[in-house]
């Protein structure tokens, strides 16, 4: 019992000590600041120093602008949702046979075309794609379906070492060609710009269909590069147009290229429903069928006409297509066999020259 009692006594004593220590260890009471007099010129809670003037109230327009923006996005999303969820009334609207020829529309929209497409192309980075392809153009270049000349500023045409030797622009619509020509004058018409251009650069603006015979390059040869942007959507016969490009390409040169930037169907079914549902109205208004199966069209045409696809890329959920096509080895051989002997020798000489050039010899 004793030890237990002793323990009990000690326990009581230590408990009393701890309680006393806890009381005395209590943090000293904070000194309360003296209440400051309230300055009626400043709201309560703000320091009443003139060095910190009150914040200006937020503009009352901001909520309205944000609200309008949100309503606009909401409305636009709803439209897309509705178009994506209803089946297309015309299930054949993506078939070429069901799409009427609307190319004449550009005669009426030529002057407003740039302002209609400019902002969306800027937002989507289309200008970068235009530039990338235009910079690949070399030798005698033909831009078909050139429209208002949206690629004009991107060609390699300045300085002695410019890659482009001649530039031809052709379009079915005289109004579009005229806008293109005026743009050229605005960009390169002045003396300073002219002096920068490659000496001897030949530039031509032509009105005519890219489905028929097109003029040869100024050198009297076929073209080294044929370039088209957003053209397969606007012709009634895209396969024939591709075929005709190959006919005008110098396929005896392995470096010859067809470069395409096109737009069409997506790889997303819901987006294709949106495109199909609005395709007819869009075509009538803008002269372009944006629901075509571009990949299939180009690949088929390439195979049939002896071209191979060097590269193929899609952007913007698959609706924008970038193609680089070149003649296959067989096509080059065949084209050379068809050339007069002198011309074949010349080509072979140029090929060898190409190798010597690479080694730094001319
Ligand atoms: C969508 S616009 C594209 C214009 C321009 N290439 C661009 O990237 O902005 C299509 C153009 O193709 C032209 N086009 C349609 N059918 C054509 C044809 N058979 N031959 C030449 N151009 C044609 C139209 O006149 C129009 O200028």
Nearest CA to ligand 1 atom 19: 209
260 belongs to a structural domain: yes
Residue 117 Cα to ligand 1 middle (Å): 14
Ligand 1 centroid, distance to 177 Cα (angstroms): 10
Query: What pLDDT is stored for residue 355 in this prediction?
Result: 45
Residues 155 and 244 in one domain: yes
The verdict on 295 and 343 lying in the same domain is no
Residues 254 and 323 grouped into a single domain: yes
Residues 317 and 353 in one domain: no
Cα(50) to centroid(ligand 1), Å: 66
For residue 56, how far is its CA from the centre of ligand 1 (angstroms)? 54
Mean per-residue pLDDT over the chain, rounded: 85
> Which residue's alpha carbon is at the smallest distance from atom 4 of ligand 1?
147
pLDDT band at 271 (very low <50, low <70, confident <90, very high): very high
Asked whether residue 214 falls in the same domain as residue 336, the answer is: no
Instruction: Answer yes or no: do 185 and 126 share one domain.
Output: yes
How far apart are the CA of 144 and the centre of ligand 1, in A?
Answer: 7
Q: Do 295 and 349 fall into the same domain?
A: no
Question: From the alpha carbon of 210, which atom of ligand 1 is closest?
Answer: 20
pLDDT digits (tens, 9 = 90+) for 153-174: 999 999 999 999 999 999 999 9
> Beta 139-144 vs 225-229: how paired, if at all?
parallel
What is the arithmetic mean of pLDDT over 207-229?
98
Atom of ligand 1 nearest to the CA of 287: 1
Query: Any residues with Cβ below 6 Å from ligand 1, and which?
Result: 103, 106, 144-147, 150, 171-173, 176, 209-211, 229-231, 234-235, 288
Domain count, the chain: 2
Residue 257 lies in a domain: yes
> How many angstroms does the Cα of residue 171 sit away from the middle of ligand 1?
6
Whether residue 128 is contained in a domain is answered as: yes
Give the least confident one: 7-21, 52-66, 212-226.
7-21
Distances (CA, A) of 69 to 74, 124, 325: 8, 19, 43
CATH code of 123's domain: 3.40.50.150
Decide if 134 is inside a domain: yes
Residue 249 predicted with pLDDT over 70: yes
Instruction: Give the separation between CA 244 and CA 259, rounded to whole angstroms.
Output: 14
Return the best residue to mutate from 108, 116, 147, 151 for the ligand 1 pocket (most ligand atoms within 8 A of CB): 147
Task: Please tell me the distance between residue 172's alpha carbon and the centre of ligand 1 in angstroms.
Answer: 7
Name the pLDDT band for 356 (thresholds 50, 70, 90).
very low
Residue 240 lies in a domain: yes
Statement to judge: residues 255 and 348 lie in one domain: no
316 occurs within a structural domain:
yes
Provide the residue range defining the domain that includes 342.
Answer: 330-362
User: Do 186 and 202 lie in a common domain?
Assistant: yes
pLDDT at 37 over 60: no
pLDDT higher than 70, residue 362: no
Q: Are residues 357 and 254 in the same domain?
A: no
Q: Answer whether residue 358 is part of any domain.
A: yes
In a domain, 85, yes or no: no
Q: Which atom of ligand 1 is nearest to the CA of 146?
A: 6
User: For residue 288, what pLDDT is reported?
Assistant: 97
Q: Cβ-count burial of 157 within 10 angstroms (0-12 exposed, 13-18 middle, 19+ buried)?
A: buried
* Ligand 1 atom nearest 145 alpha carbon: 22
Q: Same structural domain for residues 323 and 343?
A: no
Q: Which of 217, 212, 84 is nearest to 139 (CA)?
A: 217
Counting ligand 1 atoms within 8 A of each CB, the residue from 100, 101, 102, 103 with the most, and so the one to mutate, is 103
Q: Which atom of ligand 1 is nearest to the CA of 209?
A: 20
Looking at the whole model, is its pTM more than 0.85?
no
Same domain for 235 and 140? yes
């Amino acid at each position: 019992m004793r030890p237990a009692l002793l323990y009990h006594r000690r326990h009581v004593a230590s408990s009393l000590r701890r309680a006393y220590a806890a009381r005395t260890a209590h943090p000293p009471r904070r000194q309360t600041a003296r209440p400051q007099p309230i300055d009626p010129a400043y709201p309560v809670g703000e320091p009443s120093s003139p060095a910190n003037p009150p914040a200006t109230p937020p503009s009352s327009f901001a909520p309205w602008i944000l609200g309008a923006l949100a309503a606009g996005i909401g409305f636009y999303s709803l439209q897309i949702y509705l178009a994506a969820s209803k089946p297309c009334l015309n299930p054949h609207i993506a078939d070429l046979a069901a799409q009427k020829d609307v190319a004449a529309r550009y005669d009426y929209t030529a002057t407003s075309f740039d302002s209609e497409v400019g902002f969306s192309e800027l937002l989507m980075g289309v200008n970068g794609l235009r530039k990338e392809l235009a910079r690949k153009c070399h030798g005698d270049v033909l831009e078909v379906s050139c429209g208002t000349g949206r690629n004009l500023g991107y060609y390699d045409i300045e300085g002695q070492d410019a890659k482009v030797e001649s530039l031809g622009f052709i379009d079915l619509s005289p109004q579009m060609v005229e806008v293109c020509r005026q743009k050229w004058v605005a960009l390169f018409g002045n003396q300073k710009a002219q002096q920068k251009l490659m000496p001897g650069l030949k530039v031509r603006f032509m009105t005519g269909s890219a489905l028929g015979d097109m003029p040869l390059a100024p050198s009297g040869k076929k073209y080294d590069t044929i370039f088209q942007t957003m053209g397969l959507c606007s012709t009634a016969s895209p396969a024939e147009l591709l075929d005709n490009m190959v006919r005008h390409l110098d396929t005896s040169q392995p470096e010859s290229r067809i470069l395409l930037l096109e737009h069409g169907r997506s790889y997303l079914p819901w987006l294709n429903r949106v495109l199909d549902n609005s395709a007819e109205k869009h075509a009538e208004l803008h002269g372009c069928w944006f629901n075509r199966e571009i990949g299939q069209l180009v690949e088929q045409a390439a195979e049939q006409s002896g071209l191979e696809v060097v590269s193929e890329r899609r952007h913007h959920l698959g609706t924008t297509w970038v193609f680089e096509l070149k003649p296959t080895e067989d096509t080059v051989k065949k084209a050379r066999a068809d050339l007069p002997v002198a011309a074949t020798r010349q080509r072979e000489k140029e090929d060898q020259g190409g190798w010597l050039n690479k080694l730094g010899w001319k």
